[in-house]
Amino acid sequence: MSCRHLAAIASGLGETAFTVDASRVTFGRGALAEVGDRARALGMRRVALITDRRVRALPWFAEVAHALAAAAIDVAIFDEVAIEPTELAFDAAARFAREARVDGYVSLGGGSVIDTCKAANLFATYPAALRTYVNAPVGDGLPIPGPLAPHLACPTTSGTGSEVTGIAIFDWTTLHAKTGIASPRLRPTEAIVDPRTTSTLPGEVVAASGLDVLCHALESFTARAYTTRAAATPPTSRPASQGANPWSDLGCREAMRLAGSYLVRAVRDATDAEAREQIMWAATLAGIAFGNAGVHAPHAMAYAIAGRVRDYRPTGYPDAPLVPHGMAVALGAPAVFRAFGRFRDDRHLEAATLLGADTRGAAVADGGELLATRVVELMRAVAMPNGLAGVGYGAPDLDALVDGTLPQRRLLANAPCEVDAACARALFASAMVYW
Ligand SMILES: [Zn+2]
């Protein structure tokens, strides 16, 4: 394997502090009923309620609309969010928000809905060409000039953690690039997390989004240590992807423990309210953690894996070629942990233990190998495809997969080692088949 140790920082120039950013979170069964009062308390009088058609037909939508009406708040509904939003979807939502003259935002749905709402808020507040705020090198990566309108985010899937992060991901179709906008200003003002919403999710969706949760925790926990980065100048420019730190470690450890205990139960039985609630809590914790540490190689690889799909159609999702985000992340993860374990062995070993791996009788105390093995066990238990070959990729695709990964510099720079083209190629090659 050709992945190399991180370059050393000249002495005295390393980072010595980390910053904690977190939005207010209200978590619990029935929490959606608080949306109206909370919107009112934030000064909202007329809100854009952003959702998708599937969620609009569910009882959760009626509950939120009722709570807003009871608080005497005007509502303009936008329900055209697509799964895996594109630049056109961001643009349509922003135009809608501008024309509706709203003073606040409520999003109800999965990560695609919440991300689209963040973009609508941004571009309605500070109109600009799309590329202005998009991460470099794909976009210009300019800072967002000031605060946005208040945004209450209500997730209905237990996965992306978008309700507590300042990241909005989209598919820039004209550039064939999956990219995003990252800024603390995009972070929703409050998250309202009601675990009842997960009772209407198909098991396949809980499986993919639950593995996304698990990878948020695993990647944040095994990311480079924040002290191995060059110090931010000015310090206010310290990125959200600042590396593993004592705050993110707290959320990661508990999220890993919960995922190890409850993921398989939550996937197999939609009526197991305890398991689904615990995975929703794990998603919130992992979201807060990765919003303050950053994920790394599995997420960078996932953009290429999802973006170059040909004809794989997963059950439980709309009938179209698609590798769901959480599945795309999980497919690369064991290969990464196996290869990167030697760069942070103690952390990989601890993660494997928290996930419930039996490490006592292990022939070798190789943290990366033990963690990879445990993640593969969980993937099999929730019926994930067997590696990249399981979603239609083979050796001839390696160059394209590497090319789609290397531009994800924000993510790759957060890995515990240097990731160049040869390293990425070796990772994809060993992710083809796992069992
Ligand atoms: Zn993710």
Least confident of 14-28, 327-341, 356-370: 356-370
- List of domains in the chain: 30-193 (3.40.50.1970), 202-430 (1.20.1090.10)
* Centre of ligand 1 from the C-alpha of residue 215, in Å: 7
Q: Which two tokens stand for residue 330?
A: 């999980």
Query: From ligand 1's centre to the CA of 40, what distance in Å?
Result: 31
Residue 82 one-letter amino acid: A
Distance 98 CA to ligand 1 centre (A): 29
Task: State the chain's mean pLDDT as an integer.
Answer: 93
> What is the b/e burial string over 382-398, where b = at least 16 CB atoms within 10 angstroms of the residue's CB?
bebbebbebbebeeebb
CA of 112 to the centre of ligand 1 (A): 11
Rounded to the nearest whole angstrom, what is the distance from the C-alpha of residue 116 to the centroid of ligand 1? 16
Residue 363 confidence class, pLDDT cut points 50, 70, 90: low
- pLDDT class of 173 with cuts at 50, 70, 90: confident
Whole-number percent of the chain with pLDDT over 70: 99
159 CA distance to ligand 1 centroid (A)?
Answer: 7
In this model, does residue 123 exceed pLDDT 70? Answer: yes
Q: What is the DSSP letter of 34?
A: G
Selection from 345, 160, 159, 350 nearest residue 253 by Cα: 350
Do residues 169 and 236 make contact, with C-beta atoms less than 8 angstroms apart?
Answer: no
Per the listing, tokens 């601890």 go with 350
Residue 325 Cα to ligand 1 middle (Å): 7
| Token pair belonging to 71 | 């608080």
Residue 153: pLDDT band with limits 50, 70, 90: very high
CA 100 vs CA 46, 80, 187, 346, 415: distances in Å: 9, 15, 22, 53, 42
Per-residue pLDDT reduced to its tens digit, 265-303: 999 998 999 999 999 999 999 999 999 999 999 999 999
So what's the pLDDT on residue 364?
Answer: 62
Averaged pLDDT, 150-157: 96
Please give the distance, rounded to the nearest whole angstrom, from the Cα atom of residue 213 to the centre of ligand 1.
7
Please enumerate in sequence order all residues whose Cβ is within 8 A of that of 99, keeping only pairs 6 or more positions apart, or say none: none
Query: What's the CA-to-centroid distance between 150 and ligand 1, angstroms?
Result: 24
CA 330 – ligand 1 centroid, Å: 9
Residues 216-225 have pLDDT tens digits of 999 999 999 9
- pLDDT (average), residues 194-203: 92
| 358, 350 Cβ separation under 8 angstroms | no
Cα(364) to ligand 1 centroid in Å equals: 30
Instruction: Find the 158 Cα to ligand 1 centroid distance in Å.
Output: 11
> Each residue of 317-348: pLDDT tens digit?
888 899 999 999 999 999 999 999 999 999 99
